[in-house]
Amino acid sequence: MNLRIVGGSLARQVRRYSYKPVRRVPLPPASNATPDAKKADGFSLGKELRARIVASGPIPIATYMKQVLTNPAAGYYMTANHNVFGSRGDFITSPEIGQIFGEVLAVWSLNEWHKFGRPVPFQLIELGPGKGTMMNDILRVYGKFKVTAGLSVHLVEMSEHLSKVQAALLCRSSTEYGDKPFYRSGVTADGLKVYWYRRLEDVPQVFSIIFAHEFFDALPIHKFVKEGDSWKEVLIDVDQQNSEKFRFVASKADTPMLRLFLNSYCSESMADRNHVEISFESESVIQEIGNRLSSNGGLALIVDYGHLGDKGDTFRAFRNHKLYNPLEEPGCADLTADVDFSLLKQFCDRTGKIFTIGPTSQRAFLELAGAKERLEVLLAGASSEEERHRLTDGFRMLTDEDQMGSRFKFFALLPKELKEIYN
């Protein structure tokens, strides 16, 4: 079954409203200095990691990745030293390219909510909301359809810096807290309550529509390679030729995560593979989603770039929209790895509580959901030729096979009890 789960009446309505295209507001320019250079107290994440390795030996890529991205003092997502998202940042995401992306996701989720009988109260949860752009587009559609009664919004965001960026876009005001499960809350212009959390586990247990767009690709991975007939874990060590640099090495003995991989994950389907990347943290998130969908009802949509188990080494870094050495200047570039959807599906199956639809390509999902028709409406309402070019160029970027159209996958998760109904 494909992911065309879009009601005709809803799709027709979303094509008609808001003829005027929405313009994106860029973030203010950030300093070009690297996080290490910006720290007034002289803290260097690279120096910290090198000292740790010298003291206790090579570290897993997952440990390195988690520190580089979320270290409180100098993590890539945790500071305001540089722009992360958009044309002026290190990479651009689908919601930043145009409003059509978020609008289509809104219509799809509303259609699913209708299938569940329009339960209230209900909540939208987004994991890793970026600048808040996608949620802003989704809420605009929900507001147009007047379905916000009983709705609340819950954002899982580790970075307090990014939570402020999101709050500035989504809310007319927000307040910080230190004694509640959420650390920030705000109210939108339409009166919807928005909450920020560091963990999905802290979000209330209510019927939920969960979005995870470019979230799983940033979760820490362990990397395993086959040498002859033996598997080794890839670790990060200090370069023996230059103590200021890092290098990749293969483990000399079994590591705890290698034993876990061999005992529980190295299946017959991997017989022809010699390179596997696994995010065990991803499995924990999937387990939590499964518990929620089973206990409270709801659905989840994962959108990310990835593969079906047919790729090996995908660990890399991006800076200024270009590939960058992931071991260079920790904290100054985004670290990422393609999502292995074959493993993600295995994680879902292991819960015993989820059935999955997909993955299908971004191009297929958007086109089946009426994105082309929505583009035509926006083009008709565009105020200038420049605006029309921006819309068509953005649509091509989202859907062309040689751009985002095939690399990005849509993967839906629903309660196992509904499998027979959907089939």
Write the DSSP string, 65-84: HHHHHH-TTT-TTT-SSS--
* pLDDT at residue 16, as a whole number: 47
Tokens representing residue 235 in the block: 């670790």
Per the prediction, the chain carries an average pLDDT of 89
- Residue pair 99/152 in contact (Cβ under 8 Å)? The answer is no
CATH number of the domain at 8-32+79-221+277-422, out of 3.40.50.12710, 3.40.50.920, 3.40.50.12170, 3.30.70.80?
Answer: 3.40.50.12710
Could you tell me the CA-to-CA distances from 261 to 222, 265, 269, 299 in Å, in that order?
9, 5, 13, 29
- Ranges of residues in the chain with a pLDDT under 70 are 1-42, 80-91, 423
Q: For residues 209 and 134, give the distance between their C-alpha atoms in angstroms, rounded to a whole number.
A: 14
352 burial (CB, 10 Å; 0-12 / 13-18 / 19+) is exposed
* pLDDT at residue 36, as a whole number: 42
Q: For residues 135 and 17, give the distance between their C-alpha atoms in angstroms, rounded to a whole number.
A: 18
* pLDDT at residue 78, as a whole number: 84
* pLDDT at residue 32, as a whole number: 41
Phi/psi zone of residue 57: left (φ > 0), alpha (ψ -120 to 50 degrees), beta? left
Q: For residues 158 and 177, give the distance between their C-alpha atoms in angstroms, rounded to a whole number.
A: 14
Q: Any residues with CB less than 8 A from the CB of 216 and at least 6 apart, and which?
A: 279, 282, 285, 302, 304, 306, 339, 344
- Residue pair 310/333 in contact (Cβ under 8 Å)? The answer is no
Place of tokens 């996608």: 134
- Residue pair 333/317 in contact (Cβ under 8 Å)? The answer is yes
What residue segments make up the domains of the chain, in order of their start?
Answer: 8-32+79-221+277-422
Provide the whole-model pTM.
0.89
Three-state SS at 11: helix
Residue 165: name the closest of 313, 25, 12, 337 by CA: 25
* pLDDT at residue 421, as a whole number: 80
